[in-house]
Amino acid sequence: MARRLRQEAGTGAELSPTLTAALATLDRHGPLTPSALADRERVQRPTATRIVAQLEAAGLVTRTQDRDDRRVAQVGTTAAGRALMKRIRTRKNQYLAKRLRRLDPSELATLEQAAQILERLLEEAE
């Protein structure tokens, strides 16, 4: 399902799945330090630094220095980054909504219960 939703998002040549995931994390939880991004994305710090550099070069994120500690940078999404994430999410939501409309009420109820269980498991992991 995750793969199909990524395909339906239609980012194509715009972003790889890794860059899209990092941008989504920054959009949802940012601004973050590169280290915090690495932790959330479960990648090494140098990988997160490369990801941020690519997103920054594409104009999707910006780095700002921390006022209290000039060695620390915060990475947040730009207006272009937020707009891209909105387009991606809209495409995914439309695709999923179209498929969900085909289900009967009992199947929808089962999915609702499963979603609640999965969310609880994810919250416990954090």
pLDDT(11) > 80: no
pTM to 2 decimal places: 0.81
In the prediction, which pLDDT does 29 show? 96
Long-range pairs for 91-95: beta carbons < 8 A, 24 or more residues apart: 91/8, 91/9, 91/10, 92/5, 92/8, 92/9, 95/4, 95/5, 95/8
CATH number reported for the structural domain that contains residue 101 in this entry: 1.10.10.10
What local confidence, expressed as pLDDT, does residue 68 receive? 85
Give me the pLDDT at residue 13, please: 53
pLDDT at 54: 96
12, pLDDT greater than 60: no
Range of the domain at 67: 2-125
Number of domains, the chain: 1
